[in-house]
Amino acid sequence: MDSGKFLQTMGNMYIDPKAELGKNCTIGQFAVIEKDVKIGNDCQIGHNVVIHKGTKIGSGVRIDANSVIGKEPLRSKRSIFKSNKKYEPAEIGNECLIGSQVIIYTGCKISEGVLIADSAAVREDVTIGEFTIIGRNCTVENFTSVGKKCKLETNSYITAYSTIEDFCFIAPGVVTTNDNYLGRTEERFKHFKGVTIRKGGRIGGAAVILPGIEIGEDALVAAGAVVTKNVPARMIYIGSPAKELRPVSKEQLLENQGWE
């Protein structure tokens, strides 16, 4: 589509002349689309959306009002992240749904069919697999990978340097952590490590997972648990500190759901 004609037709917005828009796209009022952005066919871009330079957006994508795609990270002088890395542009796959007031940073790769709900934040160097759901006000911090067909529900917090494999379920209010030194002593810089949740792992509401913990494949952590040690595959852990209860029942195992 010729961006000059598009501007003339739609009015109050800015589309850089070097941006590429596909067919049948709608762009809301006061949207900003920067240099070298590529947007596929049949996309809906809401009011006040900002899409930063170089971002690649597939076809059939909807981005609601006031969201920001491809944001550059901020670095405090006290930040542990000292790299001046040049990030690749953000990539949004086909048929994704991005809610209002969402921030997706540069360097993110979002696969097809992902839903990122209102007010969520996805930091730089994050990958999200196809058909995963990132709930309202959820935060996924940097250097994290999330697999396909996961559900990260409202207000869950995924700390930096974490790995979440396919078909995982993270309930509302779950907190994961990566610093056993709680910001004290130089020793902490040697030990930063997020959590690992293996395929089909499930975490109940308001559970807390300590740094470096691994939740085994098809394991279940009960609501409110505080997990201080690794959880074996296919086991249920409850309490604070979390302790083994019993194996996950056979009918609950991922292999018996017919999803794959």
**pLDDT value of position 8:** 35
One DSSP character per residue, 233-254 reads TTEEEETTTTEEEEEPPGGGSG
Closest residue by Cα to residue 125 from 72, 167, 67:
72
Query: Which residues, at least 6 apart from 61, have a Cβ–Cβ distance to it below 8 Å?
Result: 39, 40, 43, 44, 92, 94, 95, 96, 97, 98
Lookup: tokens for 10: 């739609």
Lookup: tokens for 231: 């959880």
Decide: pTM greater than 0.85: yes
**pLDDT value of position 5:** 43
Ranges under pLDDT 70 in the chain:
1-11, 76-83, 260
Sign of CA dihedral 111, 113, 116, 118: positive
Amino acid letter at 47?
Answer: H
Query: Which residues, at least 6 apart from 245, have a Cβ–Cβ distance to it below 8 Å?
Result: 222, 235, 236, 237, 238
Q: Are 150 and 162 in contact (CB under 8 A)?
A: no
Cα–Cα distance measured from residue 110 to residue 200, given in angstroms and rounded to the nearest whole number: 20
* 243-247 and 235-238 beta bridge pairing: antiparallel
Q: Are 195 and 180 in contact (CB under 8 A)?
A: no
**pLDDT value of position 7:** 42
Q: Sketch out the chain's domains with CATH numbers.
A: 3-73+89-256 (2.160.10.10)
Cα–Cα distance measured from residue 24 to residue 13, given in angstroms and rounded to the nearest whole number: 17
DSSP 213: -
**What is the b/e burial string over 87-117, where b = at least 16 CB atoms within 10 angstroms of the residue's CB?**
eebbbbbbbbbbbbbbbbbbbbbbbbbbbbb
